[in-house]
């Protein structure tokens, strides 16, 4: 007997994220530094940690992905709906919607 949890799901990019280079903490939002993400930074106990970040994305499992990793996953999953000259193998929110 097989359960749904045994089914390997295709990895997909879910939303934009930034990762603190100081603590490794992650903040998510629809787009990088949108009002949701900025609100989370504003309400953070240590605002200084968000001065040094890596921009990326998360997948449906909550795994942080660099822009390059996210591009490969989104491309393989058929999530990229538009291309533009500056994406060259790195994902931008504009590629997804």
Q: Give the burial string for 6-29 (b: 16+ CB within 10 Å, else e).
A: eeeeebbbbbbbbbbeeeeebbbb
Count of alpha carbons within 13 Å of 5, Cβ hemisphere only? Answer: 0
pLDDT at 56 over 80: yes
pTM over 0.85: yes
Where are the domains positioned within the chain?
A: 10-96
**Beta bridge mates, 68:** none
- Give the tens place of pLDDT for each residue, 13-54: 999 999 999 999 999 999 999 999 999 999 999 999 999 999
């Amino acid at each position: 007997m097989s359960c749904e949890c045994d089914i390997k799901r295709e990895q997909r990019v879910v939303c934009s994220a930034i990762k603190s280079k100081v603590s490794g903490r992650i903040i998510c939002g629809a787009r990088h530094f949108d009002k949701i993400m900025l609100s989370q930074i504003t309400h953070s106990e240590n605002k200084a940690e968000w001065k040094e970040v890596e921009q990326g994305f998360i997948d449906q499992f909550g795994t942080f992905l660099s822009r390059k990793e996210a591009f490969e996953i989104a491309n393989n999953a058929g999530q990229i709906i538009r291309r533009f000259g500056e994406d060259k193998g790195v994902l931008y929110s504009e590629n997804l919607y």
